C-alpha cells in the first residue's frame, strides 16, 4: 500500500512482536463491524478504530453519533480520543457528515499532525472553516509539509491578506514553489503537477543512480514511480520505472533501460491529462514547460480525483444542477445551483403552452386529446434523454468525433424508428382498447413516430453542436432536447388530430 | 511514464543519438497536429505517428479516413504501415471507430506483437470479432503474455469449446492461473487482482531484498510499486514502497521501513475496492484470501478503469439506458437497452392519463387548464430530477448514509419550498399577465408548491430506499420520481382548479 502522506498509526516495528499489529486491525475490524450489538457508549479507545468504519468502508453512523454526543457534552478529551483513531481521510469524511455547528466543536480537536493531510481532502467550504480556526504560522507550517500541488490548492483558497501573511511566514524556497504553481492557470497540468521529481542523465548507471538516491534521500519526492532520464538541456528523453531499476544489473546505463514517455505540457487542461493517463494506463508522467524542459510530474493518484470530479460535474449537469453541490452546500447554495435551470425551463415550457393554446378549439371538441397529449410529449422526451445521455458520455470519452458522427446519427435515427414503432404500437393498442377509436389510435402512433425521430436528431445533434462550439454538452443540451420533444410532441399529436379527427 | 505492457516503439537506446528520438515525436506531433493543411494521401510512414492523433489525443478523423481508404483499396501493406505507427491503445480506439465491415478488413493487419496488449482494451463485441480471426494457438500465446487479471478477462469471453482448446494449448502454470482467477466471482477483487506480487519477510534487509530482486528479475511482476512484507504464515503485515527501499541504507531491515497496509479480500466487490483506493489514495494494495494470506495485488491503473466503468453505468442508468451502450453496439442492442425503460414509462404515464381523464369536465369548462397543466408536471419533474441526481451521486460516493439522511431530506424539502416559491411566483406572474385571472395564477402557484414538496421527498426518499434495499438507485429511481411528479402535478393543479375556479 502506498500513501502520499504518512498514516498516523505507523507501527513501531523495531519490536518484532508489534509487526502483526499492523495487519490485525483489518481482520478484527471485519469481525466487529458485523456486530451491531456493541453498546457504543462503552467503546474503549482501542476499539474505536474497528468501530469507526462499516463493512463497506463508509463511516459508521453510530461512530458519528459518538462524536456528536461528545461534542454536545463539550467533552474534548473524548473527541480527541475518537479522532485519534481515524485515518486522515476518514477525519475529512467525518467533517463532511457533521453540521456546521458540530464541525466548529470538533475542528479544534483534530490532531495537529493530521491537519496537513486533511486539508487537501476537504470540500472548499469546510476547508475555509478549518483554516479560519488556525493561526497564520500554523497554516504556513502545514503548507510546507504538503506536496507543491496540494499546497497550492490549499493556498489559493485563503483570503488575500491571509495569503500575504502566510507567504511572509514561509521560507524562501517554499514560497517560490507556491507562487510558481499559482502562476499556472486553474485546472491545468501546471497546477496539478508536483515539482518534486527524480531525474538523472542517460549515461548514469543503475548503480550510480541508486547510490545517488540513497545519499540524497531527503531531497527526493516522498513517493515516486519513475526516474526520468534527461538530456543536458534538462529535457526528458525517457523513463525508468523504479521496479525495473531495482532488478537490473548495477553497471547498465539508464539509456539502455529507459522506455518512451508521454510528455504533458504545463498548459494542458487537466481533463485532457486525465484522458491521456486513462488511455495509456500511465502511473506517472513528466511535465515540461514551453521549451520542453522537465519541471515536474503528475502521478495517477491525483488523476483519480480529477476523473471523479469531472464525472461528478457531468452527472450533475445532465440532471440540471449547475453548481457543484455537496453534502455541506447550504440551502442558499442549493437554490442557486437549481433555480437558473428551472427558470430557463419555465421559459421553454411556454413554447408548449403556446402550441396547446393554438389547439384549444380541438381540445374542447374532443377532450380526450388533453389526456393523451402529455404521454406523447413525455415518452418522446424520455427517448430524447436516452439519446442525449449516450451522446454526452461518448463525447466526453472521445468515442464520438467527426470520424463517426454521421454513422452515430444514422444509428440513433434508425433505433428511434424501431423503438418508436414498438412504443407507438403499444400506445395505439391501449388507446383503442380504452376509447374504441381507430383513428385516434392512428394519430397517437403517428405522433410518437414523428416525435421519436425528432428526439433522436435532437439528442444527438444538440450535444454534438455544443461540443463543436466548445460548450459543455452535458450542461446546455438537456434544456434544448426537452424543448424539441415537448414542442414536437404536442404539435404533432394535436396537429394530426386536427387534420384527421376533426 | 509507466505502462503495464511494453510499448511497440521501444527505442534502441544503446546508440546514444537515438535517445532524443524517444522524446521528439511528442513535440513534433504537437506542431504538425495544428496543421490541417497536410494532404493526407501523401503522408509518409514517418509522418503517420504525428498525424494520427489530434491535439486532444483523440484519433484524427483524417487518419481514420486514410485507414478506410486503404481498406477500400484492399491495400494491406498501407494498412500495416498505418497501424504500425500507433500505440496499442490507439489501435483499440481505432477499431471502435470503424464499422464492422472495415474492422474485418483491418484486424488481420494488426501487428502480432501488439495483439496481446490490444485485447484487454477492446469492448466485448469487438474483442469477440478479433478473437474469431485468431488461431487457438495464437490465443493461448497471447494469454500467456498478459498479466493474470487481463488474461482471465479475455479468456472468459471465449466460447466454451474455444476455452477448452486454449487451456489445452497452454503450459500447466499459466492454465492454473487462469482457472484460479475465474474461480472468483465476477466484479470481485479476486478477478481484478494480478497474482504476480513481490513479497519479502520482515527480517530481510534493504540490501538483501534488492539483491534478491536483481537475481530473480524474471519472476517478478513487470511493474510493481510496493514490496509487501509477509509473516511466516504468508500474511501481509506491511508494505515498503520501492522508492523508499531505494533511498534507504542497505543494512536496515524491512520491518523498520514498512508502513501499515489496507488489505483487500478476494471476495470484495470491485466498486468497494475502487472506493478504498480513492479514499486512501492507494497506488497498490495487497489482496488476501479467506485465511488472510497474500494471494495477489491490485494496482491503481486497473482502478482507473473500474471508476470509469462505474461512472458510465451511473450516467447511462440515470438517463434511462439500461444496458451498457458503446459506439459499437448494434441497432438491436440499442433497442434492447432503451425499450424496457420506455415501456415502463408508458405504463406509468397512464397514471397521468387517468388523473386528467377524471377532470375532463373541468377542462371543457376552462380549456386554459389543458395548456397550463403540462408546465406544472414538467417543472416539478425537473426539480425532482435535480434532487434525484444529487442524491444518487451522494449515495454512490458514500456521502449520504444513515448519519445524515434526515438532515439531507430536510435540506431538500426546504430548498424545494424556496426554489418552488420562486418558480411559483414567476409562473403566477406570467399567468396573470396572459390570462388576467388572479385565481388561476393562485391555483398554479399553489400546485407548484405542492408538486415541489413531493418532488423533493420523492427525489431523496426513492433513491435512499432503493439503496437500502440493495437496488441500484441510479437505475430504478428516475421512473418512480417522474411518476410522482407527473401524478402530483396534474392532480394538484386540476384539483385546486376544480375547488377554487369552478
pLDDT (tens digit, 9 = 90+) per residue, A431-451?
Answer: 999 999 999 999 999 999 999
Would the CB atoms of A383 and B342 count as touching at under 8 Å? yes
**Inter-axis angle of helices A160-168 and A172-183, to 10 degrees?**
140
**SS3 of chain B: helix, strand, coil, percent, to 5:** 65, 5, 25
Best mutation target, B260, B456, B485, B487, to test chain A (most A CBs within 10 A)? B260
B351 CB near a chain A CB, below 8 Å? no
Residue A345 CB-half CA count within 13 A: 28
Element (H, E) at A287: strand A284-288
Which residues on B lie below 8 Å from A241 (Cβ)? 2, 223
- Residue ranges covered by each domain of chain B: 16-133, 199-318, 331-500
Would the CB atoms of A303 and B304 count as touching at under 8 Å? yes
pLDDT of residue B248: 87
Q: Which residues pair with A228 in a beta bridge?
A: A199, A239
Mean pLDDT (10-residue bins), chain A, 502 residues: 40 32 34 49 78 86 92 92 90 92 91 88 87 88 84 86 89 86 90 90 93 82 89 95 88 93 93 92 93 94 88 90 79 91 90 94 95 95 94 91 92 95 96 95 97 97 94 89 95 97 87
Reported as a single tens digit per residue, the pLDDT across A69-101 is 999 999 999 999 999 988 999 999 999 999 889
Q: In terms of DSSP H, where are the helices of A85-198? A: 88-97, 100-106, 112-118, 124-132, 136-145, 148-155, 160-168, 172-183, 189-192
Distances, alpha carbon B259 to alpha carbons A47, A332, B118, B151, in Å: 21, 44, 36, 31
Name the nearest CA neighbour of A464 among A381, A383, A407: A407
* In contact, B270 and A21? CB cutoff 8 Å: no
CATH topology for B331-500? Tetracycline Repressor; domain 2 (1.10.357)
* In contact, A297 and A262? CB cutoff 8 Å: no
Least Cα separation, residue A369 to chain B (angstroms): 9
Reported as a single tens digit per residue, the pLDDT across B438-490 is 999 999 999 999 999 999 999 999 999 999 998 989 988 998 999 999 999 99
Reported as a single tens digit per residue, the pLDDT across A284-294 is 999 999 999 99
> What does the alpha-carbon distance between residue A482 and residue A455 come to, in Å, rounded to a whole number?
9
> What does the alpha-carbon distance between residue B39 and residue B58 come to, in Å, rounded to a whole number?
20
Which residues on A lie below 8 Å from B64 (Cβ)? 403
| ipTM for this model | 0.85
Sheet holding A236-241, edge to edge: A199-201, A226-230, A236-241
pLDDT of residue B8: 38
CATH topology for A199-318? CBS-domain (3.10.580)
Which residues on B lie below 8 Å from A340 (Cβ)? none
Distances, alpha carbon A420 to alpha carbons A10, B90, B336, B342, in Å: 61, 36, 12, 10
Nearest 5°: phi and psi at B257? -105, -25
Would the CB atoms of A284 and B2 count as touching at under 8 Å? yes
B349 CB near a chain A CB, below 8 Å? yes
Q: What secondary structure letter does DSSP report for A259?
A: B
Amino acid at each position: 500500500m502506498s500513501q502520499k502522506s504518512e498514516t498516523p498509526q505507523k507501527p513501531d516495528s523495531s519490536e518484532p512482536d508489534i509487526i502483526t499489529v499492523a495487519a490485525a486491525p483489518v481482520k478484527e475490524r471485519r469481525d466487529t463491524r458485523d456486530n451491531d450489538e456493541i453498546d457504543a457508549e462503552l467503546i474503549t479507545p482501542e476499539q474505536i478504530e474497528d468501530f469507526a468504519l462499516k463493512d463497506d468502508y463508509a463511516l459508521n453512523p453510530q461512530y458519528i453519533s459518538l462524536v456528536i454526543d461528545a461534542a454536545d457534552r463539550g467533552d474534548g478529551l473524548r473527541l480527541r480520543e475518537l479522532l485519534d483513531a481515524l485515518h486522515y481521510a476518514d477525519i475529512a469524511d467525518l467533517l463532511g457528515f457533521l453540521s456546521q455547528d458540530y464541525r466548529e466543536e470538533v475542528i479544534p480537536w483534530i490532531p495537529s499532525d493530521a491537519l496537513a493531510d486533511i486539508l487537501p481532502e476537504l470540500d472548499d467550504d469546510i476547508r475555509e472553516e478549518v483554516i479560519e480556526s488556525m493561526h497564520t504560522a500554523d497554516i504556513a507550517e502545514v503548507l510546507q509539509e504538503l506536496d507543491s500541488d496540494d499546497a497550492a490548492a490549499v493556498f489559493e483558497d485563503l483570503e488575500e491578506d491571509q495569503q500575504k501573511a502566510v507567504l511572509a511566514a514561509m521560507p524562501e524556497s517554499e514560497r517560490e514553489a507556491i507562487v510558481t504553481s499559482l502562476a499556472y492557470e486553474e485546472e491545468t497540468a501546471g497546477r496539478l503537477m508536483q515539482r518534486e521529481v527524480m531525474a538523472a542523465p542517460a549515461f548514469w548507471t543503475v548503480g550510480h543512480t541508486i547510490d545517488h538516491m540513497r545519499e540524497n534521500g531527503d531531497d527526493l519526492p516522498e513517493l515516486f514511480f519513475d526516474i526520468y532520464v534527461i538530456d543536458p538541456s534538462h529535457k526528458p528523453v525517457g523513463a525508468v520505472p523504479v521496479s525495473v531499476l531495482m532488478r537490473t544489473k548495477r553497471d547498465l546505463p539508464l539509456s539502455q533501460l529507459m522506455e518512451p514517455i508521454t510528455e504533458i505540457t504545463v498548459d494542458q487542461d487537466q481533463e485532457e491529462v486525465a484522458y491521456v493517463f486513462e488511455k495509456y494506463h500511465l502511473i506517472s508522467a513528466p511535465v515540461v514547460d514551453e521549451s520542453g524542459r522537465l519541471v515536474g510530474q503528475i502521478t495517477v493518484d491525483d488523476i483519480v480525483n480529477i476523473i471523479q470530479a469531472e464525472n461528478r460535474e457531468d452527472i450533475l449537469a445532465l440532471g440540471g444542477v449547475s453548481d457543484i453541490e455537496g453534502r455541506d452546500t447550504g440551502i442558499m447554495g442549493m437554490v442557486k445551483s437549481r433555480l437558473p435551470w428551472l427558470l430557463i425551463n419555465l421559459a421553454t415550457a411556454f413554447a408548449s403552452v403556446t402550441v396547446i393554446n393554438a389547439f384549444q378549439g380541438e381540445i374542447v371538441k374532443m377532450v380526450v386529446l388533453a389526456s393523451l397529449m402529455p404521454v406523447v410529449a413525455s415518452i418522446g422526451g424520455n427517448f430524447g434523454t436516452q439519446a442525449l445521455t449516450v451522446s454526452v458520455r461518448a463525447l466526453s470519452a472521445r468515442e464520438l468525433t467527426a470520424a463517426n458522427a454521421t454513422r452515430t446519427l444514422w444509428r440513433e435515427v434508425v433505433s428511434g424508428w424501431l423503438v418508436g414503432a414498438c412504443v407507438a404500437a403499444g400506445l395505439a393498442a391501449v388507446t383503442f382498447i380504452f376509447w374504441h377509436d381507430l383513428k385516434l389510435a392512428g394519430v397517437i402512433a403517428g405522433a410518437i413516430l414523428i416525435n421519436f425521430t425528432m428526439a433522436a436528431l435532437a439528442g444527438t445533434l444538440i450535444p454534438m453542436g455544443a461540443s463543436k462550439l466548445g460548450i459543455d454538452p452535458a450542461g446546455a443540451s438537456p434544456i434544448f432536447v426537452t424543448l424539441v420533444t415537448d414542442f414536437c410532441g404536442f404539435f404533432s399529436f394535436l396537429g394530426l388530430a386536427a387534420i384527421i379527427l376533426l
